[in-house]
């Protein structure tokens, strides 16, 4: 979708939207705790799902890493890999699975350079926790249930920490 691509290619607007949304979600933590993950997700999903589908082609993995991937959803990669690009990216930057599409991870790393989080390109993202699939990531974030908040931060976060 041309609108989405244009927006993601100049991600600053999305960055500001995220920066405004995150503190708001933290404020909602207590009501979300009272409702519990499932019920809170049921309330939040009718807003989150269509909005993020429109803006990011969100696949509702329930553990959003957009702010580490240049506001590009890694779940739109046909392999759904959380750390990329894989070894199969073509010389022209196309995907080996679907040569009609640009490599999602090349796009992510390019767009990341236009955000305040450039150093996150070397970040090691944990594998997807499929138990959270179809949950509202706004709720999992606020509740500290997403993969970023559940303790994986104690693991190496950057490739340099593994290789040093």
- Contact residues for ligand SF4 (CB under 6 A)? 52, 56, 58-61, 64-66, 73-75, 137
Query: 109 near 70, Cβ under 8 Å?
Result: yes
Measured from the CB atom, the residue of 90 and 133 that comes closer to ligand SF4 is: 133
CB of 45 to ligand SF4, least distance (A): 11
**Which pair of structure tokens corresponds to residue 121?**
């390109």
Measured from the CB atom, the residue of 51 and 97 that comes closer to ligand SF4 is: 51
Measured from the CB atom, the residue of 74 and 91 that comes closer to ligand SF4 is: 74
Query: 7 near 111, Cβ under 8 Å?
Result: no
CB of 74 to ligand SF4, least distance (A): 6
DSSP state of 99: T
CA distance 35 to 30: 9
Measured from the CB atom, the residue of 76 and 86 that comes closer to ligand SF4 is: 76
CB of 82 to ligand SF4, least distance (A): 9
CA distance 46 to 122: 33
Q: Is 144 left (phi over 0), alpha (psi -120 to 50) or beta?
A: left
Query: 88 near 96, Cβ under 8 Å?
Result: yes
């Amino acid at each position: 979708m041309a609108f989405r691509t244009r927006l993601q290619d100049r991600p600053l607007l999305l960055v500001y939207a995220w920066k405004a949304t995150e503190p708001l979600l933290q404020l909602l933590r207590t009501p979300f705790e009272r409702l519990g993950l499932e019920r809170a997700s049921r309330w939040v999903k009718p807003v989150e799902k269509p909005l993020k589908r429109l803006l990011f082609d969100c696949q509702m993995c329930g553990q959003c890493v957009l702010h580490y991937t240049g506001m590009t959803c890694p779940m739109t990669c046909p392999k759904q890999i959380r750390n990329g690009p894989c070894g199969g990216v073509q010389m022209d930057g196309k995907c080996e699975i679907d040569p009609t599409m640009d490599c999602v991870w090349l796009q992510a790393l390019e767009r990341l350079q236009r955000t305040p989080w450039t150093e996150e390109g070397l970040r090691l993202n944990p594998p997807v926790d499929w138990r959270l699939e179809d949950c509202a990531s706004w709720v999992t974030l606020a509740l500290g249930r997403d993969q970023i908040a559940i303790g994986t931060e104690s693991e190496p976060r950057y490739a340099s920490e593994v290789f040093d």
